[in-house]
Every structure is written in structure tokens, then in C-alpha cells.
Amino acid sequence: NAGVTQTPKFQVLKTGQSMTLQCAQDMNHEYMSWYRQDPGMGLRLIHYSVGAGITDQGEVPNGYNVSRSTTEDFPLRLLSAAPSQTSVYFCASSYNGLPGYTFGSGTRLTVV
């Protein structure tokens, strides 16, 4: 049982490049989310999904797209990377919100 798997662990992008952060869970969780964590800001919700085919925006969705074609996978796409998107990105999943989320190990993204 791998839990929540995120790839890559580290990434450096140039401004304007696009990329996809991968997230997969093998716990049959309905709910999945993407957060970014910046110093002093805490975790902020980017997008979330309550099931396959259903996604919605969180607090900071601009510059990111998501899709949920299967229960297991929830990729996050950066459309045109900007230095402001330098952050640590966490994917998380939950069966029904209780007792909380299981997080992946994170992706450290630097945009230069």
C-alpha cells in the first residue's frame, strides 16, 4: 500500500515552461486536493476533487489546471510557469474528509 505518491520530488523550470505534477493514490479515496506551501503562508488549497470527473477551484487556482479522469490520479498542470509559483506542492487524499487527509511527500518546484 503506497498511499499517496507524488512525482517528481524536485523540479526546476524556466519561466514560461509548462509541466505536470503527478499524484496517485491507491486507497480508493474519493477526495483529492492540491496544496502549495510557502514560508509564513501555510498550506493553501489550489484545486480539489470530490470524485472522478469532478473538480473545483480552491483559494489560489490561477495558473493551474487539474483533471480527474480516474479515482486514483489527480495531476496538476502548470500552464506557463512563473517565479511566483516557486513553492512546495503537496497532493492529499481522503476517504470522506474524516479523519483528515493523507499527504504525499511533496514536490519542490523552483521557477527561474
Partner 1 sequence: RKEVEQDPGPFNVPEGATVAFNCTYSNSASQSFFWYRQDCRKEPKLLMSVYSSGNEDGRFTAQLNRASQYISLLIRDSKLSDSATYLCVALLYGQNFVFGPGTRLSVLP
The closest of 61, 64, 60, 20 to 42, measured between CA atoms, is 60
| CB neighbours of residue 30 within 10 Å | 16
Q: 91-110 mask for partner 1 (x: CB under 8 A)?
A: ---x--xxxxxxxxxx----
| Contact between 54 and partner 1 per CB under 8 A | no
- The four Cα atoms 87, 90, 59, 30 give a dihedral, to 10 degrees, of 160
What is the smallest separation between the CB atom of 85 and partner 1, expressed in angstroms? 19
Neighbour-count burial for 53-78, b at 16+ CB within 10 Å, e otherwise: eebeebebbeebebbbeebbebbbeb
What is the smallest separation between the CB atom of 18 and partner 1, expressed in angstroms? 25
State which of residues 19, 27, 43, 82 lies at the interface with partner 1 (CB under 8 A).
43
# residues contacting partner 1 (CB under 8 A):
24
Q: Footprint of partner 1 on this chain (CB under 8 A)?
A: 31, 33, 35, 40-45, 48, 50, 58, 90, 94, 97-106
